[in-house]
Amino acid sequence: MEALGTFIQKLSLPRKIIITTHVKPDADALGSSLGLSNYLIKKGHEVTVISPSDYPNFLTWMKGNEKVLDFSKEAHKKQALRKLEEAEVIFCLDFSVLNRVNELGELIRQSKAYIVNIDHHQDPEDFAQFRLWSTAAAATCELVYELIVTLGDKELIDKSIASCLYAGILTDTGGFRHPNTTKNVHLVVAELLEAGANATEIANLIYDSNSLNRLKFIGFALTRRLVVREDLHLAYFAITKKDLKKYQSQTGDTEGLVNYALSLEGVKMAALFSEREDGIKISFRSSVDVAVNKFAAAHFGGGGHKNAAGGKSGLSLKKTLARFEALVQEQQIELFSS
């Protein structure tokens, strides 16, 4: 691992830069990518943001969104590959294991570019020459803000950069509710508001842009697809491919659903299983004392944060659920005793 000095030196000349983030980017992933991109462009660099997949419509207001290349789209892939080949610096934001970016992972591993990793997830892989990593940070956007300040460029943070960074902090703290909502979070957010971010506007763009289909889907999921196991302090949703089709589900439509399960009184662990083309995607959430990232890593090839993690399963939905319940039953003392 090299020091900050080398990193600063690398960026002292105009560079060809790629910024990438994890598959199905959320507000922190896209906000940190576009916030950093808008800043680096101001510094004279040539920057391309590549996402491994599409992302929800409620994030498309961010400045620079129209230029993001979606690596899963044939129409963008060629250009993205060319940009990757030319890249002198690659920033990897909001993830720290290369399997979070699908095929891009191998390309990053093999790249001759200077790799930078900025992230706040646990158990990072060692693939970067420079790492700005802290699990104490609530969001990658918080780290990007601090990096810009460390580089002496606080005054370059304008309304659009501040808005991107604010969005990531807003959502990764669950609207300033999760235990990661520290004094520093509020201090950073105060500076972002000062720089022009509008809290009401951003909250509206992110939280108040539901389609009628999505609201109906949430109603359906709550009435028909929620399983509560009081004996295990557990509640989870199991959503089939058919359900997603019936409600014309768009990317992002299942986001936040798992929190309804966790909000049930007495529930310490919640999950959302959704049947996708490439297998079962799982979201885990937990109350403060339960470490779902360890559970996700041990049993579902995933990871994340202590109270918000994800994973996947190659089994059928039915078999995945049976395995999940058996694992929770088996491990409940370990899971719920701390």
Contact residues toward ligand 5GP (CB under 6 A) are 22, 97, 100, 283, 302-305, 308-312
Q: Which does 15 bind (CB under 5 to 8 A by kind): ligand 5GP, Mn ion, none?
A: none
Give yes or no for residue 94 binding Mn ion (CB under 5 A): yes
Six-digit token string for 108:
């990053």
Q: Which does 37 bind (CB under 5 to 8 A by kind): Mn ion, ligand 5GP, none?
A: none
Residue closer to ligand 5GP by CB (options 11, 271) is: 271
Residue in the block written with tokens 């399997």 = 99
Instruction: Tell which residue, 120, 203, 136, has the closest CA to residue 163.
Output: 203
Give yes or no for residue 28 binding Mn ion (CB under 5 A): yes
Q: How many residues bind Mn ion (CB under 5 A)?
A: 4
Residue closer to ligand 5GP by CB (options 198, 209) is: 209
Q: How far is the CB of 281 from ligand 5GP (least distance, A)?
A: 7
Q: How far is the CB of 106 from ligand 5GP (least distance, A)?
A: 17
H runs (alpha helix) in 238-291: 241-246, 257-262
Secondary structure (DSSP) of 54-65? ---GGGTTSTTG
Residue nearest to ligand 5GP (CB): 310
Distance CA 38, CA 30 (A): 12
Query: Is residue 62 within 8 Å of residue 1, measured between CB atoms?
Result: no
Between residue 129 and residue 188, which ones bind Mn ion under the rule CB under 5 A? 140, 172
Q: How far is the CB of 171 from Mn ion (least distance, A)?
A: 8
Query: Is residue 266 within 8 Å of residue 259, measured between CB atoms?
Result: no
Instruction: Tell which residue, 113, 109, 33, 45, has the closest CA to residue 70.
Output: 33
Q: How far is the CB of 47 from ligand 5GP (least distance, A)?
A: 23
Distance CA 271, CA 264 (A): 12
The residues binding Mn ion (CB under 5 A) are 28, 94, 140, 172
